[in-house]
Structure 1
Amino acid sequence: MSTALVTGATAGIGLSFAHALAERGHDVVLVARDRARLENVSDELQAKYGVGTEILVADLTDRAETGKVAERVADRARPVDLLVNNAGYSLKGSFLRHDVTEEEANFDVLCRAVMVLSHAAGNAMRDRGHGAIVNVSSVASFITSGTYSANKSYVTVFTEGLAAELKGSGVTATVLCPGFTHTEFHQRADVDMSSIPEFMWLDADRLVRDCLDDVSKGRVVSVPSPQYKAIVAALRVVPRSLVRRQGGSVHRPRK
């Protein structure tokens, strides 16, 4: 039986990954900050799917704790066959209004942890000749809406480069780029999303299933749903000056 490790596994897309992987027969290593929530998810997966679970309590803003997760990913005696770098959050408001320490912590979770864990997984998996890495990015990575877009752009481009480096090794790297998704993500960020039409919202379970299908096909970029595939295709060819103009309006200072 193979083992998957999922960061941010107690809510939203990460929780959907945990359930989808357990349903497919993977043992699951669950990583998040809240032990109680981790234990609840662990118990649920064991009871519902009969798989083995392991919990790792880790705050990915802390380098030492991220290092412990990397050690687990790289453990050759207990191999991780599929890594899902999902943990993340968004800061409300514009870059210059935030304390820089907030931005640094956000960068550590969205970018540094992805790099560190992908490095650990990529080396361990390449030595074994098989495995898969999934990094959760966003359609926001193709626009210029503050540091969230910048951080997610790093994840997208980083994963594309990693996939090229791993080509022919038996290991794949896939970046998932969802749009608006029904999770607690926006509530936690205290962002009002009421203006977004319903047809633009995705179901987390469905997009995770579609992503895992793309992983099995060796696809590098996974964009769920026809509407977001069309949006990303357009953003790749639209002049960047237009993209910047739209992105700049999102963070225009309040009067």
Structure 2
Amino acid sequence: MPTTVLITGASAGLGAAFARAFAAKGCDLVLVARDKSRLEALAAGLARDNGAVCEVLPADLLDPAALATVTDRLADTARPVDVLVNNAGFGLPAPYPYNPVEDEERMLDLLVKVPLRLTHALLPGLRERRRGAVLNVSSVAGLLPTGTYGAAKAWITAFSESLRIDMEPYGVRVLAVVPGFTRTEFQERAGMDVSALRDAVWLEPEAVVAKALRDLARRRPISVTGRHYRAYAFAVRHLPRTFVARRMARDRRPPAARRD
């Protein structure tokens, strides 16, 4: 029986790259995102190119009824899901003090509450079958004091590391995927100005996914793509936290408040 993989945020970026990679491995897919037309186009392409069996499940995961539909699908023992990729997310254009609190709550719900709910729905089946995996897309932002987005991603990484230990006796793998700047729609949707970033900073989604699947096979706890980001992750653990916090806070200020 083919492995079935459910991917959130599957319509573009890392989610679509995960879908293509798993389809190439012969997996069946459950594709979750808000945009039904983009999901259908992706599913059609995967069926054509890889013969993949794709289930399209349009859902706004911030809507309680839609979230319940996805949790029910994950808990359906008649159609078991073997791998969950928690990838859906978004960022905000300004630092926390300058965003509407309602937007901050929505971001926190999607980045933290939704993966918590989806993972919890799937785990009983994975424990019973004694196999499967959960991949949680975090960020290098979670390694630094980078505001509420980084705080949410820090939660995802810590949650993944802890859950990995809890699930080891059942043969269930858990991986935190920790990318840096990746060429997706994320930055544009968040209203981020990334024009000053050098080309060397950027990762391709396919590279992030390929590294993640290699690290999953090796049962590693965390996957960081790119030597420069791995060096960065190592360095920030050894720098004084106050220094890092002040440096990151300077970058988070609105443009009018920054000083050269």
Q: Give the TM-score category using the shorter length.
A: over 0.9
1:222 aligns with 2:240: no
What is the CA–CA distance in structure 2 between the aligned matches of 1:22 and 1:90, rounded to whole Å?
28
Aligned partners of 2:70 and 2:187: how far apart in 1? 26
Aligned to 1:86: 87
Following the alignment from structure 1 to structure 2, what is the Cα–Cα distance between the partners of residues 101 and 4? 32
Residue 129 (structure 1) aligned with residue 130 (structure 2): yes
1:100 matched residue in structure 2: 101
Amino acid at match of 1:166: M
**SS across alignment from 1:167:** helix
Aligned to 1:66: 67
For 1:178 and 1:33, locate their aligned partners in 2 and report how far apart those are by CA, in whole Å: 23
- The answer to whether residue 163 in structure 2 is matched with residue 187 in structure 1 is no
CA-atom RMSD in angstroms: 1.0
Shift of 1:88: 0.7
Letter in 1 for 2:134: I
Offset of residue 238 of structure 1: 1.6
Please state whether the residue corresponding to 1:29 is helix, strand or coil.
Answer: strand
Per-residue Cα deviation, 1:79-116 (whole angstroms, up to 9, x for no partner): 11111000011000011211111111111111111111
1:234 aligned partner: 235
What's 1:141 paired with?
142
Q: Distance in 1 between matches of 2:106 and 2:63?
A: 8
Matched, 1:45 2:77: no
Deviations 1:200-250 (A, max 9, x none): 111110110110111111111111111111100111222211221122112
Displacement of 1:147 in angstroms is: 0.8
Q: Which residue of 1 aligns with 2:206?
A: 205
TM-score by length of 2: 0.95
Query: How much has 1:64 moved relative to structure 2?
Result: 2.3
Structure 2 counterpart SS, 1:202: coil
Consecutive unaligned residues in structure 2, runs of 5 or more: none
Residue of structure 1 in register with 2:110 after alignment: 109
Determine the C-alpha separation between the residues in 1 that align with 2:163 and 2:244. Answer: 26
SS at match of 2:126: helix
- Runs (4 or more) in structure 1 with deviation over 4 Å come to none
1:104-138 deviation digits (Å, cap 9, x = unpaired)? 11111111111111111222201110000000000
In 1, the alpha carbon distance for the partners of 2:142 and 2:94 equals 17
Total equivalences in the alignment: 255
C-alpha displacement of 1:168: 1.8
2-structure distance, mates of 1:252, 1:207 = 29
Matched residue, 1:31: 32
C-alpha separation in 2, matches of 1:25 and 1:190: 36
CA offsets 1:36-62 (integer angstroms, 9 cap, x no match): 111111111111100100011111112
Aligned-residue offset at 1:26: 0.4
Structure 2 CA distance for aligned equivalents of residues 239 and 168 of structure 1? 37
TM-score by length of 1: 0.97
Q: Distance in 1 between matches of 2:176 and 2:21?
A: 17
The letter of the residue matching 1:123 is P
DSSP-derived class of the 1:43 partner: helix
Distance (whole Å) between structure 2 residues aligned to residue 233 and residue 67 of structure 1: 39
Alignment-mate amino acid for residue 175 of structure 1? A
Q: Does 1:153 align with 2:154?
A: yes
Task: Render the CA deviation track for 1:169-210: whole Å, top value 9, x for unaligned.
Answer: 110110000001111111111211111111111111011011
Output the amino acid matched with 1:86: N
Aligned to 2:253: 252
TM-aligned CA deviation for residue 252 of structure 1: 2.1
Gaps of 5+ in 1: none
Residue 5 of structure 1 corresponds to 6
Matched-pair contact (CA < 8 Å) for 1:145–1:250 = no
For 1:99, the aligned partner's letter is P
